[in-house]
Amino acid sequence: MGHLTDLQCSMYVDGALTSEQYNTLGDHLAGCTACQARLSVFKEDQGIIAIAMTNQTEVVPHMAPPKFKKPVGLREFAVANLLTGLLFWFAQFSSKAIFGELVVDGFSWLTSIFVPDVYDLALTTLLYFTNEGTVMIEAYSGFIVAAILAVAATWLLLYVVKSKQAFSFCLLTAVLGSGLALPQEASAIEHRRDHVTISSDETIDDTLLFTGETILVDGIVTGDLIAFGRRVVVTGTVNGNLIAFAESISISGEVSGTTINAGKTVEITDAILGGDFWGAGESVQISRESRITGNAVLGANRVSMQGEVGKDLTTGAETIELRGKVGEDMVAFGKSIKLLGDAGIVGDLTIHSVGEDSLSRSAESTVGGSIQFELHDLDGRSKNPYATFQFYGFQVLKLAAAFIIGYGLFMLFPAVRSATLNSGVTGFITAGVGLVALVSVPVILVLVAITVVGLPLTFFGFALWLLGLYLAKIIVAWLIGSMLFSDPDGERGVALPLISGLAIVTVAINIPFIGGVVSFVMTIVGIGMLVQWLITNYSRDAAIVR
Amino acid sequence: MASSVVAFEILYKEYYVRVFGLCRRLLNSAMLAEDATQETFMRAFRSFSKFDGNQPFWHWIASIANHYCIDLLRQRTRMQNLFGNEQEEMEQIESPGPHALTTVIDSEDNKTLNAALADMPDKYRLPLVLAYFSEFSYDQIAVELGVSRNHVGVLLLRAKQHLRSRLVATPAGEV
């Protein structure tokens, strides 16, 4: 054979040749001084590099040992999550039981005995606050604001100039400031305790805000009229909007703007309302001669509508009686809807109710458009899903399907078993990656779809994305299961950890109130694990064994 | 739990200078090496239960450091094929016979050699550090870098040649 190559020399001194190669080269070396010389050069180099390599020319910085802590295992993580979930569920359940049922029921029973009228109570409170409370609040809020400002200024000055003079100065300013800030009574709002009357020969060229026991407006108000009282009667004209809150509201004048009324009884008698009308109360009555130019929205126990509505009429009431005309469509939510006399609806009538028998109509009534029924369960109590057998049957079915798919997945691709959720920050990163994948993939796919050429790719991508969403929870289930059995790579079989994990996940995502959040978190964590697993396994040189 | 922490802190004090040296050589940066050292020990602690007492601790911790640093370099260079093509490297092997490093740096301190090491491209420095610092075999290096065994030999030869040419081209004192 010929002389040794550089590669052979290099590997020779590194001890990286096979015994066969050593024998062959040895035979040559024995009789070739040139090769012996070259080899000795390589040997010297090797020694020098090895020494130089470990020789530190710079000072090694002193490094305190890091805080060695065992990461929280996923078993603890899962158990803690489950416990938190159960705790939440228990807290919510008991709060609902205590407050939702006991307190509210008890309170309503109590009020039915002691409090003659809820409206009365609300009004008394409101009147007290509007008459006395505003002054009180203004006085105190002025003081509070001044105090906060003074403290802030003091802090700032002390921070900037750390001297005693500055402190004294601040103190003085604060005292003076709080004295000055004490308010004078606001003059824009007129407070009158008992009775407010705007007589028919009076014209108010401004917006009026009234609070009082009885409010009578017979004159003309050019701006808005806002009235809170026990009894509000408007017989005059309001050019702006009319907002009234009272035990009884009676309007028989003319309002140009929007009318918003809330009270125990709302009566619109021979009135002309130029804009929309919003009325709420125990009973809302609109007399035959009244006219509402815009839309009417009425919510009450009992609605009696005899007048005319220019546009749509939307009502929600136990009993709805319509004798008048509706210019456009009517939507009614209620148990009993009656079209009486010559009631007329130009457009469609949509009824949201328990059954079609809730509508009764006279022979003379007319509906220009169609009549549609939207049937609802108006009992107000939605069915408890946990109380039905179908729910559990469906869950078991879903569990079985997920198990079969998961089992197939881990059998076909054993490497997926190694997808792991690292602890701490990395776990959050995994969830973040999952969230990004969850959100960005559809966006990207839509963008691809726009190019038309990419349409098949988009369908394919969406299918993959949906598959990923489904697999995400299976992978999390596997992770939880394998951690519970302390068998991260599924060496002792896949079935048992998988079914246990799936059972835990199924229970967790069905926990009332927080199940949705759990499901969402599990999905993003699972997708994150899947994405990270794909990245680590298919982007690197396959030869690197991890 | 507490006793394992104490035991590990002893190991840390024993080995951190050496691990730091390895990371320093691999990453070519003292600052990165400091972080890498800490991270290496954190990882080692987390998987300490997997440590096989039959092999030297140094080999185990060195392979963790290698993994970490090579990953870091891959991320930094964003280059999957860090170590080039075996055939291309083979063709680059310089034909002239070697000059012994001894003749060049005989009277010099290690500074010149250190500078030359620092200047070396990652693809040559990494196998050289693994072979002469971590004391890994060709096979171990091949697994670590994800290249063939022969490729490792070529890379190491190129590394040695690179050192020589660098030192011959830059006589002592000019570094």
* A46-57 pLDDT tens trace: 877 877 777 666
Partners of B94 on chain A (C-beta within 8 Å) are 6
Query: Is the CB of A58 less than 8 angstroms away from the CB of B144?
Result: no
Residue A214 pLDDT greater than 80, yes or no: yes
User: Higher confidence at residue A378 or residue A319?
Assistant: A319
Task: Looking at the complex, report in whole angstroms how far the Cα of residue A70 sits from the nearest Cα belonging to chain B.
Answer: 6
DSSP notation for B109-150 = -THHHHHHHHHS-HHHHHHHHHHHTS---HHHHHHHHTS-HH
User: Of the candidates B41, B110, B113, which has its C-beta nearest A66's C-beta?
Assistant: B41
The alpha carbon of A214 is separated from its chain's Cα centroid by a whole number of angstroms, namely 44
Nearest residue in chain B measured CA to CA from A10: B157
Residue A163 pLDDT greater than 70, yes or no: no
Residue A227 pLDDT greater than 60, yes or no: yes
Query: Is the CB of B138 less than 8 angstroms away from the CB of A60?
Result: no
Query: Is the CB of B100 less than 8 angstroms away from the CB of A45?
Result: yes
The stretch B61-77 carries a mean pLDDT of 83
The stretch A37-61 carries a mean pLDDT of 77
Q: For position A162, what pLDDT does the model report?
A: 59
Partners of A21 on chain B (C-beta within 8 Å) are none
CB A106, CB A532: distance < 8 Å? no
Query: Is the CB of A38 less than 8 angstroms away from the CB of B21?
Result: no
Q: For position A326, what pLDDT does the model report?
A: 92
User: Of the candidates B42, B81, B128, which has its C-beta nearest A66's C-beta?
Assistant: B42
CA atoms within 13 Å, Cβ hemisphere of B16: 22
Query: What is the reported pTM?
Result: 0.36
DSSP notation for A299-355 = EEEEEEE-SEESS-EEEEEEEEEE-SEESS-EEEEEEEEEE-TT-EESS-EEEEES-
Q: For position A187, what pLDDT does the model report?
A: 35
Q: pLDDT tens for residues A384-414? A: 666 677 777 887 888 888 888 888 877 777 7
The stretch A10-29 carries a mean pLDDT of 85
Distance CA A66, CA A317 (A): 69
Partners of A51 on chain B (C-beta within 8 Å) are 110
Say how many residues make up chain B.
175
Residue A539 pLDDT greater than 70, yes or no: no
For A413, B5, B112, the CA distances from B171, given in Å and listed in that order, are 57, 49, 9
Residue A68 pLDDT greater than 80, yes or no: no
The stretch A274-280 carries a mean pLDDT of 88
Please state, for a pLDDT cut of 90, what percent of chain A lies above it: 5
Instruction: Name the interface residues of A facing B (CB cutoff 8 Å).
Output: 6-7, 9-11, 14, 16, 38, 41-42, 44-46, 48-58, 60-61, 63, 65-66, 68, 70-71, 539-546
Distance CA A47, CA A53 (A): 10
User: Of the candidates B111, B138, B146, which has its C-beta nearest A57's C-beta?
Assistant: B111
The stretch B139-166 carries a mean pLDDT of 86
Query: Is the CB of A63 less than 8 angstroms away from the CB of B145?
Result: no
Q: For position A251, what pLDDT does the model report?
A: 92
Nearest residue in chain A measured CA to CA from B91: A7
The stretch B132-137 carries a mean pLDDT of 84
The stretch A504-519 carries a mean pLDDT of 78
Say how many residues make up chain A.
546
CB A260, CB A243: distance < 8 Å? yes
Residue A109 pLDDT greater than 50, yes or no: yes
Q: For position A540, what pLDDT does the model report?
A: 46
The stretch A317-345 carries a mean pLDDT of 88
The DSSP secondary-structure symbol of A103 reads I
Partners of B144 on chain A (C-beta within 8 Å) are 544
Residue B1 pLDDT greater than 70, yes or no: no
Query: Is the CB of B93 less than 8 angstroms away from the CB of A54?
Result: no
- In the predicted model, what is the mean pLDDT of chain A? 75
CB A253, CB A269: distance < 8 Å? no
Distance CA A426, CA A44 (A): 47
Residue A62 pLDDT greater than 80, yes or no: no
Residue A478 pLDDT greater than 80, yes or no: yes
Nearest residue in chain A measured CA to CA from B115: A57
User: Of the candidates A7, A10, A60, which has its C-beta nearest B17's C-beta?
Assistant: A60
> pLDDT band for position A309 (50/70/90)?
very high
- CA-angle at B59, arms to B54 and B65, nearest 5°: 140
Task: Looking at the complex, report in whole angstroms how far the Cα of residue A389 sits from the nearest Cα belonging to chain B.
Answer: 46
Residue B23 pLDDT greater than 80, yes or no: yes
- In the predicted model, what is the mean pLDDT of chain B? 76
**B44: exposed, middle or buried (C-beta count within 10 Å: 0-12, 13-18, 19+)?**
buried
Structure tokens at B17: 């200078």
The stretch A193-200 carries a mean pLDDT of 72
Partners of B146 on chain A (C-beta within 8 Å) are 540-544
Query: Is the CB of A53 less than 8 angstroms away from the CB of B100?
Result: no
Query: Is the CB of B46 less than 8 angstroms away from the CB of A70?
Result: yes
CB A266, CB A247: distance < 8 Å? no
CB A369, CB A344: distance < 8 Å? no
Distance CA A291, CA A371 (A): 24
Rg (chain A; Cα; Å):
41
DSSP 3-state assignment of B86?
helix
Query: Is the CB of B138 less than 8 angstroms away from the CB of A11?
Result: yes
Scan for tokens 């009158």, then name that residue.
A192
The stretch A233-242 carries a mean pLDDT of 89
> pLDDT band for position A508 (50/70/90)?
confident
> pLDDT band for position B173 (50/70/90)?
very low
Nearest residue in chain A measured CA to CA from B8: A68
Q: For position A31, what pLDDT does the model report?
A: 84
Partners of A76 on chain B (C-beta within 8 Å) are none
Q: Which residues pair with A268 in a beta bridge?
A: A251, A286
The stretch A141-163 carries a mean pLDDT of 67
User: Of the candidates B30, B42, B153, which has its C-beta nearest A10's C-beta?
Assistant: B153
Query: Is the CB of B102 less than 8 angstroms away from the CB of A56?
Result: no
Query: Is the CB of A38 less than 8 angstroms away from the CB of B164?
Result: no
Of A212, A247, A250, A242, the residue nearest A122 (C-alpha): A247
ipTM rounded to 2 decimals: 0.75
Partners of A50 on chain B (C-beta within 8 Å) are 132
Task: Looking at the complex, report in whole angstroms how far the Cα of residue A469 sits from the nearest Cα belonging to chain B.
Answer: 28
Q: For position A537, what pLDDT does the model report?
A: 64
Of A501, A527, A519, the residue nearest A419 (C-alpha): A527
Which range among A110-114, A117-121, A378-382 shows the weakest confidence by mean pLDDT? A378-382
Nearest residue in chain A measured CA to CA from B83: A541
User: Higher confidence at residue A400 or residue B105?
Assistant: A400
CB B20, CB A60: distance < 8 Å? yes
Query: Is the CB of A49 less than 8 angstroms away from the CB of B160?
Result: yes
Nearest residue in chain B measured CA to CA from A6: B157
Query: Is the CB of B128 less than 8 angstroms away from the CB of A61?
Result: no
User: Of the candidates A60, A65, A543, which has its C-beta nearest B12's C-beta?
Assistant: A65
